[in-house]
Amino acid sequence: MSEPVGPLDSLRYPRFAGPRTFARLPLLETVERADVAVMGAPFDGGTSFRPGARFGPAAVREASLLLRPYSEPLDLLPFARAQVADAGDAGPDPLEIGAAHATIQARAAELHDSGARVLGLGGDHSVALPLMRAAAARHGPLSLLQLDAHADTWDEYFGHKLSHGTVMRRAVEEGVLDPHASVQIGLRGPLYAASDLEDNAALGFRTLLARELDATGVAGAVGLALERLRSPVYVSVDVDVLDPAFAPGTGTPEPGGLTSRELLAILRGLAPAGLELAGADVVEVSPPYDPTGNTALAAAAAAYDLIGLMVLGQRPRHGST
Protein backbone atom coordinates (compact mmCIF):
# COMPACT_ATOMS: atom_id res chain seq x y z
CA MET A 1 0.00 0.00 0.00
CA SER A 2 1.21 3.47 -0.83
CA GLU A 3 2.61 5.87 1.72
CA PRO A 4 0.27 8.48 3.09
CA VAL A 5 0.45 11.89 1.47
CA GLY A 6 1.49 14.31 4.15
CA PRO A 7 1.36 18.06 4.53
CA LEU A 8 3.28 20.50 2.35
CA ASP A 9 6.92 20.90 3.34
CA SER A 10 7.12 24.21 5.15
CA LEU A 11 10.87 24.41 4.87
CA ARG A 12 10.44 24.65 1.09
CA TYR A 13 6.96 26.07 0.61
CA PRO A 14 6.18 28.77 3.18
CA ARG A 15 3.31 28.34 5.60
CA PHE A 16 1.56 31.51 4.61
CA ALA A 17 1.28 30.27 1.01
CA GLY A 18 -0.97 27.63 -0.39
CA PRO A 19 -4.47 26.34 0.17
CA ARG A 20 -6.02 26.52 3.63
CA THR A 21 -6.55 22.82 4.25
CA PHE A 22 -6.22 21.55 7.78
CA ALA A 23 -2.53 21.32 8.67
CA ARG A 24 -1.74 21.79 4.97
CA LEU A 25 -2.86 18.22 4.35
CA PRO A 26 -4.14 17.07 0.98
CA LEU A 27 -7.77 17.44 0.06
CA LEU A 28 -9.54 14.12 0.38
CA GLU A 29 -10.47 14.10 -3.30
CA THR A 30 -6.82 14.09 -4.26
CA VAL A 31 -5.91 11.03 -2.18
CA GLU A 32 -9.01 8.92 -2.76
CA ARG A 33 -9.32 7.52 0.71
CA ALA A 34 -8.36 8.52 4.20
CA ASP A 35 -8.00 6.94 7.60
CA VAL A 36 -8.90 10.21 9.23
CA ALA A 37 -10.99 12.87 7.55
CA VAL A 38 -11.20 16.42 8.82
CA MET A 39 -14.58 17.81 7.90
CA GLY A 40 -16.04 21.26 8.45
CA ALA A 41 -19.55 21.66 9.75
CA PRO A 42 -20.04 25.41 9.32
CA PHE A 43 -23.42 25.94 10.90
CA ASP A 44 -24.35 28.27 13.75
CA GLY A 45 -28.10 28.44 13.55
CA GLY A 46 -28.42 26.54 16.80
CA THR A 47 -26.76 29.17 18.89
CA SER A 48 -28.48 31.07 21.67
CA PHE A 49 -26.14 33.99 22.18
CA ARG A 50 -23.23 35.00 19.96
CA PRO A 51 -23.27 33.56 16.45
CA GLY A 52 -20.28 33.38 14.11
CA ALA A 53 -19.23 29.74 14.43
CA ARG A 54 -20.17 29.22 10.78
CA PHE A 55 -16.76 30.72 10.08
CA GLY A 56 -15.12 28.38 12.57
CA PRO A 57 -13.85 25.71 10.16
CA ALA A 58 -12.10 28.31 8.00
CA ALA A 59 -10.48 29.92 11.03
CA VAL A 60 -9.30 26.62 12.47
CA ARG A 61 -7.78 25.67 9.14
CA GLU A 62 -5.98 29.03 8.96
CA ALA A 63 -4.68 28.53 12.51
CA SER A 64 -3.59 24.99 11.67
CA LEU A 65 -0.94 26.21 9.24
CA LEU A 66 1.57 26.12 12.06
CA LEU A 67 1.08 22.45 12.86
CA ARG A 68 4.10 20.30 12.12
CA PRO A 69 4.14 16.56 11.43
CA TYR A 70 5.61 15.15 14.64
CA SER A 71 3.73 15.04 17.94
CA GLU A 72 6.30 14.96 20.68
CA PRO A 73 3.90 14.16 23.55
CA LEU A 74 2.46 11.20 21.63
CA ASP A 75 5.81 10.33 20.00
CA LEU A 76 3.91 9.99 16.77
CA LEU A 77 3.99 11.13 13.15
CA PRO A 78 0.23 11.06 12.71
CA PHE A 79 0.27 12.02 9.03
CA ALA A 80 2.84 9.36 8.21
CA ARG A 81 1.22 6.56 10.16
CA ALA A 82 -2.16 7.13 8.58
CA GLN A 83 -3.65 8.97 5.68
CA VAL A 84 -5.16 12.11 7.10
CA ALA A 85 -6.99 14.37 4.66
CA ASP A 86 -9.18 17.40 4.59
CA ALA A 87 -12.64 16.47 3.41
CA GLY A 88 -13.76 20.07 3.02
CA ASP A 89 -17.01 21.36 4.41
CA ALA A 90 -20.48 19.99 4.45
CA GLY A 91 -22.68 22.69 2.95
CA PRO A 92 -25.41 23.07 5.52
CA ASP A 93 -28.55 25.11 4.95
CA PRO A 94 -27.96 28.21 7.08
CA LEU A 95 -31.67 28.85 7.59
CA GLU A 96 -33.06 25.64 9.04
CA ILE A 97 -31.41 23.52 11.66
CA GLY A 98 -33.04 20.24 10.68
CA ALA A 99 -31.96 20.48 7.08
CA ALA A 100 -28.51 21.60 8.11
CA HIS A 101 -28.08 18.64 10.42
CA ALA A 102 -29.21 16.28 7.67
CA THR A 103 -26.54 17.60 5.30
CA ILE A 104 -23.84 17.31 7.92
CA GLN A 105 -24.93 13.82 8.91
CA ALA A 106 -25.04 12.64 5.31
CA ARG A 107 -21.55 13.91 4.60
CA ALA A 108 -20.15 12.40 7.79
CA ALA A 109 -21.85 9.10 7.06
CA GLU A 110 -20.29 9.05 3.61
CA LEU A 111 -16.88 9.51 5.17
CA HIS A 112 -17.46 6.84 7.80
CA ASP A 113 -18.66 4.51 5.07
CA SER A 114 -15.37 5.03 3.25
CA GLY A 115 -13.58 3.77 6.34
CA ALA A 116 -12.46 7.11 7.70
CA ARG A 117 -12.76 8.38 11.21
CA VAL A 118 -14.24 11.83 11.14
CA LEU A 119 -13.00 14.86 12.98
CA GLY A 120 -15.64 17.55 12.71
CA LEU A 121 -14.88 21.24 12.97
CA GLY A 122 -17.85 23.33 14.06
CA GLY A 123 -19.98 25.22 13.86
CA ASP A 124 -21.96 25.52 17.02
CA HIS A 125 -22.29 22.55 19.34
CA SER A 126 -25.53 21.46 17.71
CA VAL A 127 -23.47 19.97 14.87
CA ALA A 128 -22.17 17.36 17.27
CA LEU A 129 -25.54 15.63 16.99
CA PRO A 130 -25.36 14.73 13.29
CA LEU A 131 -21.66 13.97 13.68
CA MET A 132 -22.32 11.56 16.55
CA ARG A 133 -25.26 10.02 14.75
CA ALA A 134 -23.08 9.20 11.78
CA ALA A 135 -20.33 7.82 14.01
CA ALA A 136 -22.75 5.69 15.99
CA ALA A 137 -24.42 4.39 12.87
CA ARG A 138 -21.07 2.94 11.88
CA HIS A 139 -19.51 2.10 15.23
CA GLY A 140 -22.41 1.60 17.63
CA PRO A 141 -23.35 3.61 20.73
CA LEU A 142 -20.62 5.98 21.69
CA SER A 143 -18.72 6.52 24.89
CA LEU A 144 -18.43 10.29 25.14
CA LEU A 145 -15.73 12.50 26.52
CA GLN A 146 -17.18 16.00 26.52
CA LEU A 147 -14.88 18.89 27.30
CA ASP A 148 -17.21 21.79 27.79
CA ALA A 149 -18.29 24.61 30.06
CA HIS A 150 -21.90 23.52 29.68
CA ALA A 151 -23.61 20.14 29.89
CA ASP A 152 -25.78 20.83 26.81
CA THR A 153 -28.45 18.56 28.19
CA TRP A 154 -31.33 20.99 28.47
CA ASP A 155 -34.53 19.61 27.08
CA GLU A 156 -35.55 22.47 24.88
CA TYR A 157 -34.96 26.07 24.07
CA PHE A 158 -37.72 28.37 22.85
CA GLY A 159 -39.80 25.25 22.42
CA HIS A 160 -37.26 23.65 20.10
CA LYS A 161 -35.64 20.31 20.68
CA LEU A 162 -32.62 21.15 18.53
CA SER A 163 -30.12 23.78 19.63
CA HIS A 164 -26.55 23.95 20.83
CA GLY A 165 -27.72 23.54 24.43
CA THR A 166 -29.82 20.40 23.99
CA VAL A 167 -27.62 18.27 21.83
CA MET A 168 -26.37 15.79 24.40
CA ARG A 169 -29.85 15.01 25.72
CA ARG A 170 -30.99 14.31 22.17
CA ALA A 171 -28.04 12.01 21.61
CA VAL A 172 -28.87 10.05 24.76
CA GLU A 173 -32.53 9.79 23.81
CA GLU A 174 -31.62 8.48 20.40
CA GLY A 175 -29.23 5.90 21.78
CA VAL A 176 -26.41 7.54 19.93
CA LEU A 177 -24.35 7.84 23.04
CA ASP A 178 -24.22 5.87 26.23
CA PRO A 179 -24.20 8.35 29.10
CA HIS A 180 -23.04 5.72 31.54
CA ALA A 181 -19.84 5.42 29.60
CA SER A 182 -19.53 9.17 29.28
CA VAL A 183 -17.73 11.95 31.13
CA GLN A 184 -18.10 15.71 31.03
CA ILE A 185 -15.15 17.81 32.13
CA GLY A 186 -14.93 21.53 32.63
CA LEU A 187 -18.51 22.45 33.46
CA ARG A 188 -18.96 25.74 35.26
CA GLY A 189 -20.80 28.99 35.36
CA PRO A 190 -24.22 29.88 36.68
CA LEU A 191 -27.02 27.49 35.82
CA TYR A 192 -30.78 27.81 35.53
CA ALA A 193 -31.35 25.67 38.61
CA ALA A 194 -29.74 23.08 40.83
CA SER A 195 -31.77 20.58 38.86
CA ASP A 196 -29.68 21.26 35.78
CA LEU A 197 -26.86 19.19 37.19
CA GLU A 198 -29.17 16.70 38.84
CA ASP A 199 -31.02 16.08 35.60
CA ASN A 200 -27.72 15.75 33.86
CA ALA A 201 -26.58 13.17 36.37
CA ALA A 202 -29.93 11.42 36.13
CA LEU A 203 -29.30 10.95 32.43
CA GLY A 204 -26.22 9.02 33.46
CA PHE A 205 -23.43 11.48 32.87
CA ARG A 206 -20.46 11.69 35.16
CA THR A 207 -19.17 15.21 35.56
CA LEU A 208 -16.00 16.93 36.70
CA LEU A 209 -16.54 20.63 37.23
CA ALA A 210 -13.86 23.08 36.21
CA ARG A 211 -13.46 24.17 39.80
CA GLU A 212 -12.97 20.58 40.91
CA LEU A 213 -9.93 20.41 38.67
CA ASP A 214 -8.06 22.54 41.21
CA ALA A 215 -8.23 19.58 43.58
CA THR A 216 -7.96 16.66 41.17
CA GLY A 217 -5.41 18.11 38.80
CA VAL A 218 -5.14 16.94 35.25
CA ALA A 219 -4.26 13.48 36.51
CA GLY A 220 -7.56 13.21 38.32
CA ALA A 221 -9.43 14.28 35.23
CA VAL A 222 -7.63 11.74 33.11
CA GLY A 223 -8.23 9.09 35.73
CA LEU A 224 -11.93 9.77 35.76
CA ALA A 225 -12.08 9.73 31.99
CA LEU A 226 -10.26 6.43 31.69
CA GLU A 227 -12.44 4.91 34.38
CA ARG A 228 -15.57 5.64 32.37
CA LEU A 229 -14.63 5.53 28.71
CA ARG A 230 -14.64 2.41 26.56
CA SER A 231 -14.26 1.98 22.83
CA PRO A 232 -15.68 3.31 20.60
CA VAL A 233 -15.12 6.73 22.04
CA TYR A 234 -16.28 10.09 20.73
CA VAL A 235 -14.52 13.20 22.01
CA SER A 236 -16.35 16.48 21.76
CA VAL A 237 -14.34 19.61 22.52
CA ASP A 238 -16.38 22.73 22.95
CA VAL A 239 -13.72 25.43 23.02
CA ASP A 240 -15.61 27.21 25.76
CA VAL A 241 -14.14 24.59 28.07
CA LEU A 242 -11.14 26.91 27.97
CA ASP A 243 -11.13 30.09 29.97
CA PRO A 244 -11.99 33.13 27.83
CA ALA A 245 -8.36 34.21 28.24
CA PHE A 246 -7.47 31.24 26.05
CA ALA A 247 -10.61 31.15 23.91
CA PRO A 248 -12.47 34.44 23.75
CA GLY A 249 -13.95 33.68 20.35
CA THR A 250 -16.85 31.49 21.30
CA GLY A 251 -20.60 31.72 21.61
CA THR A 252 -21.14 31.54 25.35
CA PRO A 253 -17.85 32.19 27.17
CA GLU A 254 -17.54 31.43 30.89
CA PRO A 255 -14.75 32.72 33.13
CA GLY A 256 -13.02 30.25 35.37
CA GLY A 257 -12.15 27.74 32.70
CA LEU A 258 -9.26 25.51 31.75
CA THR A 259 -5.91 26.61 30.41
CA SER A 260 -4.84 25.30 27.04
CA ARG A 261 -2.08 23.37 28.82
CA GLU A 262 -4.70 21.56 30.89
CA LEU A 263 -6.90 20.80 27.90
CA LEU A 264 -4.04 19.37 25.87
CA ALA A 265 -2.75 17.38 28.83
CA ILE A 266 -6.15 15.78 29.33
CA LEU A 267 -6.39 14.81 25.67
CA ARG A 268 -2.88 13.40 25.63
CA GLY A 269 -3.58 11.59 28.87
CA LEU A 270 -5.94 9.31 26.96
CA ALA A 271 -3.23 8.04 24.65
CA PRO A 272 -1.80 5.20 26.74
CA ALA A 273 -5.23 3.57 27.05
CA GLY A 274 -5.35 2.75 23.38
CA LEU A 275 -9.00 3.63 23.05
CA GLU A 276 -10.55 3.53 19.64
CA LEU A 277 -11.88 6.92 18.57
CA ALA A 278 -14.83 6.62 16.28
CA GLY A 279 -15.09 10.33 15.86
CA ALA A 280 -14.48 13.68 17.45
CA ASP A 281 -15.27 17.32 17.07
CA VAL A 282 -13.96 20.74 18.01
CA VAL A 283 -16.79 23.24 18.04
CA GLU A 284 -17.95 26.74 18.97
CA VAL A 285 -15.00 28.66 17.52
CA SER A 286 -16.53 32.00 16.57
CA PRO A 287 -13.96 34.02 14.61
CA PRO A 288 -15.69 37.43 14.77
CA TYR A 289 -15.14 37.33 18.52
CA ASP A 290 -11.54 36.19 18.24
CA PRO A 291 -9.42 39.25 17.39
CA THR A 292 -6.16 37.57 18.35
CA GLY A 293 -6.96 34.25 16.72
CA ASN A 294 -6.15 32.52 20.00
CA THR A 295 -9.36 30.52 20.00
CA ALA A 296 -8.77 29.05 16.59
CA LEU A 297 -5.18 28.35 17.52
CA ALA A 298 -6.16 26.40 20.62
CA ALA A 299 -8.82 24.57 18.63
CA ALA A 300 -6.30 23.59 15.99
CA ALA A 301 -3.97 22.25 18.67
CA ALA A 302 -6.78 20.20 20.18
CA ALA A 303 -7.75 18.92 16.75
CA TYR A 304 -4.17 17.85 16.12
CA ASP A 305 -4.11 15.84 19.32
CA LEU A 306 -7.48 14.28 18.49
CA ILE A 307 -6.07 13.16 15.17
CA GLY A 308 -3.16 11.67 17.04
CA LEU A 309 -5.53 9.76 19.29
CA MET A 310 -7.49 8.54 16.30
CA VAL A 311 -4.36 7.28 14.63
CA LEU A 312 -3.10 5.61 17.81
CA GLY A 313 -6.44 3.94 18.40
CA GLN A 314 -6.94 2.49 14.95
CA ARG A 315 -5.83 -0.93 13.93
CA PRO A 316 -2.79 -0.26 11.74
CA ARG A 317 -3.32 -0.42 8.01
CA HIS A 318 -0.11 1.15 6.79
CA GLY A 319 3.06 -0.78 7.28
CA SER A 320 5.15 2.17 8.38
CA THR A 321 5.20 3.48 11.93
Residues 108-147 that bind a second copy (CB under 8 A): none
Nearest-Å Rg of the Cα atoms of the chain is 18
CB of 247 to a second copy, least distance (A): 9
Task: Kindly tell me which of 37 and 67 has the beta carbon lying closer to a second copy.
Answer: 67
Which residues from 14-53 bind a second copy, rule CB under 8 A? 14-21, 27, 40, 42, 44-52
Separation between Cα atoms, residue 56 and residue 103, nearest integer Å: 17
Which strand (E) or helix (H) includes residue 220?
helix 213-228
Window 187-216: contact mask with a second copy (x via CB under 8 A)? -xxxxxxx-xx-----------xxx--x--
Concatenating the DSSP letter of every residue in 256-294 gives S-B-HHHHHHHHHHTGGGT--EEEEEEE---GGG-TTSH
Which residues from 235-294 bind a second copy, rule CB under 8 A? 243-246, 248-249, 252-257, 259-261, 264-265, 268, 288-294
Burial class of residue 88, CB neighbours in 10 A (0-12, 13-18, 19+): middle
Residue selected from 106, 113, 160, 316 as contacting a second copy according to rule CB under 8 A: 160
Most distant CA pair in the chain: distance in Å? 57
CB of 47 to a second copy, least distance (A): 7
> Quick check: 179 binds a second copy (CB under 8 A)?
no
Task: Kindly tell me which of 184 and 294 has the beta carbon lying closer to a second copy.
Answer: 294
Task: Write the Ramachandran bin of 306: left for phi over 0, alpha for psi from -120 to 50, otherwise beta.
Answer: alpha
> Quick check: 170 binds a second copy (CB under 8 A)?
no
Question: Which DSSP state fits 129?
Answer: H
> Quick check: 2 binds a second copy (CB under 8 A)?
no
Which residues from 64-83 bind a second copy, rule CB under 8 A? 65-73, 75, 77
Residue selected from 13, 174, 180, 204 as contacting a second copy according to rule CB under 8 A: 13
User: In this chain, which stretch among 114-122, 183-191, 231-239, 275-283 interacts with a second copy, using CB under 8 A?
Assistant: 183-191
Task: Write the Ramachandran bin of 186: left for phi over 0, alpha for psi from -120 to 50, otherwise beta.
Answer: left
